[in-house]
A and B are shown apart, each in its own frame.
Chain A
Amino acid sequence: MSYKIIGQRITRNEDAQLLSGSALFLDDVHLPGMLHAAFLRSDYAHARIKSIDTSAAKQRSGVVAVYTAEDFGDYWHVGPLQVPPPLAIAGAKFNARPLPPIAKDKVRFSGEPLAVVIAESRYIAEDALADIIVDLEPLPAVTDLEKALQPDSPLVHEDLGTNLAADVQQEHGNYAEAAAKADVIIKRRFYIDRGASGAMENRGFIVDWDEKTQTMTCWSNCQAPIPLRNTIAANLGLAASQVRLITPFVGGGFGPKIMTSQADDVLLPWISMKLKRPIKWVEDRRENFLATTSERDQIHDVEIALTKDGRILGLKDVFYHNTGAYDPYGMTVPLNTQTHTTGSYDIPNFYTRVIMVFTNKMVVTPVRGAGRMYGVYVMERMIDIAAKELNIDPVELRLKNMIQPNQYPYKTGIIGQDFVENVLDSGNYPATLKKAVEIIGYEKFIKEEQPRLRAEGKKVGIGVVCFVEGTAVGPYEGARVNVDGSGKVTVVTGVSTQGQGHFTSFAQLAAEQLGVSVKDVRVITGDTGHFHWGAGTFASRGATVAGNAIYSAATKVRNKALQIASSVLEAPVEELELADGVVRIADVPNKFITLGELAMRANPTRGTIDPNMEPGLEATAFYGPPHGATGQGAVAMIVEVDPETYLVKIKRFVIAHDCGTVINPLILDGQIMGGVSMGIGNAFYERMVYDENGQLLNASLMDYLLPVSTDMPPKMELAYFSTPSPLNQLGAKGIGEAGAIPTPAAFASAVENALKDAGIEILESPLDPCRLWQLVQQKQ
């Protein structure tokens, strides 16, 4: 399929506003009479609430109200679950414990809200927090995944009688049989941790209840505006049509902004209705670390069964997953781990079991990669370890076991986060690996450069890994495309935008069908006042799922325009073309009619219309895939480890990637590179450090290290493949999380290779100079 505008590397529509500082972000919203909220949050990770005395806070000048759980009366409720339990998986055990908006009786993580202050300014609200006297009876905290399941462990939820949140087993083929036939069985334990999303803009929420019109307007920087709007309306007993939720420009999402039904969006609307005034809340960075979701640790016990010539017969992975104190987001993250372990490889027997555990930490929800990275990490490390044991080159071993281009659709037998079997739709996996290996000069490096540099005392190493990325999952998205009487084109869709260029890529999809300039297409995303059907921006699905709906809607508008023009210009549809904002007879450019005029003709204000026609040049369309589309790629990386400080410098970084049809290659590059920088952060710089009392010890950017420009490789080398997905008319797949998924595994592989003289084996992530030094010392 050859496109004129889709696939063009064009600059973005939204940039002029963003660059000039005139773009509206959440905290920029200013409403007359607006009050400010601040939350008092628990210092203890696990405690019983004995009393909360807000009287002094209420006395402070400028404080309008102070609420605790009791003050909300019957309105206080727990949940709902954001993601339903995995009932589609046979035998799945799931203990639902949705997140309370504010703690009642007990706190279960450090940062859990205890009280909310509403005041004339944010400064006064925060002052008042110090006036609140809280009497908490500390309880021993649960922080270790394995200890949490011991019979004598303190319980996060006493009524449950256990800290087990879920237990889900899935099997494809029969691992036990495969192991019996294997020549070699290798077992390892992995400890993998991730961290916060670190979006530059923290979370926030603004709500304005207008008593006179009985309507509520909310601003949120969430990734799921429509479900959130629906929940708010339902909570308050309002009709959905009484509540409008607007997402302005958002300063990065990366996952945690998908989590809703938290203190702010549950409590502040109720308070706004009570006080009849607009209320704003914006998180500060410390709150973000404590009380916004992030991803956390998993412990994997992995076993791989191979023949001695390197054919993988089976893989077994039993892992613990930390869900934090509650599990409102279901099993999305660990299910992604399960569906992304065997990844690019044709492994006929795979057993995976996740034991999800409650601990006294904030809830875990997806962070870019959303659980995929853990599966990729264990698989790629096991292959490297097997390669060493079998004395086979690690790239060779991968190619030997790869899914071949003629094996699609490849049914994995494992059910994923969308509750259907994960089926790999298309790709050319060997090609991406071979390309990455070729670009980095693998052979030459291993045979010539590495030995030479080592002889000079430089600890250089190379790592090569492959990964898959499940994207574009259902359920669906929708869009409306409209050409108005002046010829202006508007595209409206339910997903919200956090920097991934929707205002341009979506415009390209419409412009392709309507023959207008991309700059002339206005895109509105994430405003329930304009469009109220859809699920949200997650799982790298925006461009593909919403994109396909937009393309379909634009196609419908195109067809209608051609229909009307055909009768006006008295020419058959086949002879007409859309270009430059008009419909004209091809080869007779002076016989044309503008889109605006066509729109007016389609919407008369007098007379009669064809009973089958809908007015105007407007169409709505929806798209829901049968299952997700899977992107794939390979990463090759060369690092140098300083022999004294154990600081790691990335010398080269290559990523070869396949995400099907590309809408805008410039935006694609940005997404890949951004993902890689997050992956580098997760590999070496970022870690949320908790002590055994559940205290987060590094809740600031001073101590939680986000990578900066000097931590990046000198150049990110990208290679592109495009096997269109058969699942949708555009052939598109998602790409948003690709860079983040393989990088920690590649990093571990390259660093292990660099330190191969020390003979260490890296079975954990993240790494840091101290840890590397420790590993080397332990070996000596």
Chain B
Amino acid sequence: MKLEGEHVFNGPQADVWEMFYDPNVLASALPGTQSLTMIGKNEYEGKMFVRVGPVSGVFDGKLLISNEVPPESCTLTVDGKGAPGFVKGSGDVKFVAQADGTTLMKYEGEVQLGGTLASVGQRMIDSVAKSMIRQAFESLDKALQERIAARAEGRAAEYKPPSEAEFAAAVAKDMGKSVLQSQEARVIMYVVLALLIMGIIAYILSNLPK
């Protein structure tokens, strides 16, 4: 499955780049992460709890950062397996400093899925993946702000990852939003609204004192 997109970070390119090398930040960005340790210069190892619809479980994974051109681009390679199946993939990430001091991040990658995740979770994988990525960016945004603030205030940064419940709620909200965004759903909403209003008016009119 192909994953691509962009995101604007509210901070300088150098800070954004450094965040990716901070295991605390990364661990907080992806909820469900149970542990994330740096085992080599560019290598992380960790455990992450993943849920895609009815399929859930803990993944053991490795994350490798390569082809680095700091602070502009790198390649992330991920290799995870667990009871729900396996995930393998890699993606190229580019950071472009913007004139207004923000950083545009572009990513493009390919992920292979296998096991129960692939054979039963097919319908939901796309939307769950997109939601996870969106969530991750939000967390990273918060982390970036915290990092900048902490430096300004001369203290250590504190990262608070969202809880699994919050994450699940957010995924559900995202999926609900994508349903509501469909043309038909909007039309139906307007029709229902119109009928409701007509119904109320009719009721009022029929109950006006004679």
Is A43's CB under 8 angstroms from B85's CB?
A: yes
The 8 Å CB contact of B123, one of A45, A289, A702, is A702
Is B118's CB under 8 angstroms from A129's CB?
A: no
How far, in angstroms, from A700 to B116 measured CA to CA in the complex? Answer: 10
Q: Does A664 contact B (CB under 8 A)?
A: no
Q: Does B81 contact A (CB under 8 A)?
A: yes
Q: Does A691 contact B (CB under 8 A)?
A: yes
Binary interface encoding of chain B residues 106-130 relative to chain A, with 1 for a CB under 8 A from any of its CBs, else 0: 0000001111101110110000000
The 8 Å CB contact of B86, one of A44, A290, A691, is A44
Binary interface encoding of chain A residues 24-45 relative to chain B, with 1 for a CB under 8 A from any of its CBs, else 0: 0000000000000000000111
**Number of residues on chain B facing chain A (CB within 8 A):** 16
Write the chain A residue with the least CB distance to B117. A43
Q: Does B57 contact A (CB under 8 A)?
A: yes
How far, in angstroms, from A691 to B120 measured CA to CA in the complex? Answer: 14
Min Cβ gap A311→B in Å is 50
Q: Does B83 contact A (CB under 8 A)?
A: yes
**Which residues between 32 and 66 of chain B lie within 8 Å of chain A, taking CB atoms?**
57
What chain A residues lie within 8 Å of B57 (beta carbons)? 130
Q: Does A639 contact B (CB under 8 A)?
A: no
What chain B residues lie within 8 Å of A44 (beta carbons)? 86, 114
**Which residues between 88 and 119 of chain B lie within 8 Å of chain A, taking CB atoms?**
88, 112-116, 118-119
Write the chain B residue with the least CB distance to A129. B83
How far, in angstroms, from A130 to B81 measured CA to CA in the complex? Answer: 12
Is B114's CB under 8 angstroms from A700's CB?
A: no
Most B C-beta atoms less than 10 A away, residue of A43, A45, A699, A702? A43
Write the chain B residue with the least CB distance to A131. B83
Is A289's CB under 8 angstroms from B114's CB?
A: no
Min Cβ gap A577→B in Å is 62
Min Cβ gap A550→B in Å is 43
**Which residues between 119 and 135 of chain A lie within 8 Å of chain B, taking CB atoms?**
129-130
Q: Does A9 contact B (CB under 8 A)?
A: no
Write the chain B residue with the least CB distance to A132. B83
Is B114's CB under 8 angstroms from A286's CB?
A: no
**Number of residues on chain A facing chain B (CB within 8 A):** 20
Min Cβ gap A110→B in Å is 7
Is B83's CB under 8 angstroms from A130's CB?
A: yes
**Which residues between 192 and 206 of chain B lie within 8 Å of chain A, taking CB atoms?**
none
Q: Does A698 contact B (CB under 8 A)?
A: yes
Is A695's CB under 8 angstroms from B114's CB?
A: yes
Given A43-B114, A130-B57, residue A696 in contact with residue B86 (CB < 8 A): no
Most B C-beta atoms less than 10 A away, residue of A696, A700, A702? A700
Is A695's CB under 8 angstroms from B119's CB?
A: yes
Write the chain A residue with the least CB distance to B113. A695
Is B115's CB under 8 angstroms from A43's CB?
A: yes
Is A703's CB under 8 angstroms from B123's CB?
A: yes
What chain A residues lie within 8 Å of B116 (beta carbons)? 43, 286
What chain B residues lie within 8 Å of A129 (beta carbons)? 83
How far, in angstroms, from A770 to B85 measured CA to CA in the complex? Answer: 29
Q: Does A693 contact B (CB under 8 A)?
A: yes
Min Cβ gap B30→A in Å is 21
Write the chain B residue with the least CB distance to A135. B81
Write the chain B residue with the least CB distance to A290. B119
Is A286's CB under 8 angstroms from B86's CB?
A: no
Most A C-beta atoms less than 10 A away, residue of B118, B119, B120? B119
Is B114's CB under 8 angstroms from A703's CB?
A: no
**Which residues between 258 and 293 of chain A lie within 8 Å of chain B, taking CB atoms?**
286, 289-290
Is A43's CB under 8 angstroms from B122's CB?
A: no
Binary interface encoding of chain B residues 18-30 relative to chain A, with 1 for a CB under 8 A from any of its CBs, else 0: 0000000000000
How far, in angstroms, from A138 to B80 measured CA to CA in the complex? Answer: 12
What chain A residues lie within 8 Å of B112 (beta carbons)? 691, 693, 695
The 8 closest A-B pairs by CB, nearest first: A43-B115, A699-B119, A130-B83, A695-B118, A43-B114, A695-B114, A696-B119, A43-B85
List 18 A–B pairs whose Cβ atoms lie within 8 Å, in order of A's numbering.
A43-B81, A43-B85, A43-B86, A43-B115, A43-B116, A44-B86, A45-B114, A129-B83, A130-B57, A286-B120, A290-B119, A691-B112, A695-B112, A695-B114, A697-B122, A698-B122, A699-B120, A700-B120
B residues apposed to A, CB below 8 Å: 57, 81, 83, 85-86, 88, 112-116, 118-120, 122-123
A residues apposed to B, CB below 8 Å: 43-45, 110, 129-130, 138, 286, 289-290, 691, 693, 695-700, 702-703
- Beyond A695-B113, A698-B119, A699-B120, 6 additional pairs, beta carbon < 8 A: A138-B88, A286-B116, A290-B119, A695-B112, A695-B115, A697-B119
